[in-house]
Amino acid sequence: MKLILATNNAHKMREIFEILGSDFPEMTTMKQAGLDIDVVEDGDTFQANAIKKAETVLRESGFPAALADDSGLIVDALDGAPGVYSARYAGEGHDDNENNAKLMRDMSGVPRERRTCRFASAVALARTGKETVCVLGTVEGILLPEPRGTNGFGYDPYFYYPPFGKSFAELSAEEKNSVSHRKRALEALQEILRRENA
């Protein structure tokens, strides 16, 4: 079955193909399919945004299946913020550096034991004639007071992953992909597809 991804991120596509390639050997991005739409992410959960993107791209593309994800950082001491606003935490048009700077200001003086956080990724699969499936993957960490590492993007330099003793920005792409929130969500989706085909 052909699958269109609601992304133009080549790295993300490679990660998805590594896990779901056997289920969807024909995978393409929106750009490759000539689809140029911008879905407004106005849901109050990662799941709501992922479902909206997948269903909109399915409808607009004419493909039999569309996959979308929405992800971000959840900080317990901030009652779940930045959450669905992770990409625009410092406001519209701001970049990773400004988002991180706001996060550090908001977490100023919070002791280590209260700096628990997690990355979450909701992955939604919309298919013609079937109910949309949505799964959530998470990975637990500690929010660092200072950035560490130069790999990754977004909040990675501040996200300390205890099992590896490193921040996400200190991990290789292979290490990060082996434990990432998106990988966990994709594997949960793969298990649902496996049960469907059993």
Question: Is residue 63 within 8 Å of residue 4, measured between CB atoms?
Answer: yes
Which residues have CB under 8 Å from 60's CB, separation 6+? Answer: 35, 37
Asked whether 179 and 161 are in contact (CB, 8 A), the reply is yes
List the structure tokens of 50: 């992922």
SS3 call for 35: coil
CB neighbourhood size of 93 (10 A): 7
Of these residues, 23, 36, 42, 70, which one is catalytic?
Answer: 70
| Residue entry with tokens 């989706």 | 189
Q: Under a CB-based contact definition with an 8 Å cutoff, are residues 133 and 192 in contact?
A: yes
* Active-site residue, 70 included: yes
In terms of Cα–Cα distance, which of 187, 197, 198 is closest to 1? Answer: 197
DSSP 117-144: EEEEEEEEEEETTS--EEEEEEEEEEE-
CB distance 50 to 134 below 8 Å: yes
What does the block give as tokens for 150? 């130069």
Q: Show which residues are catalytic.
A: 70
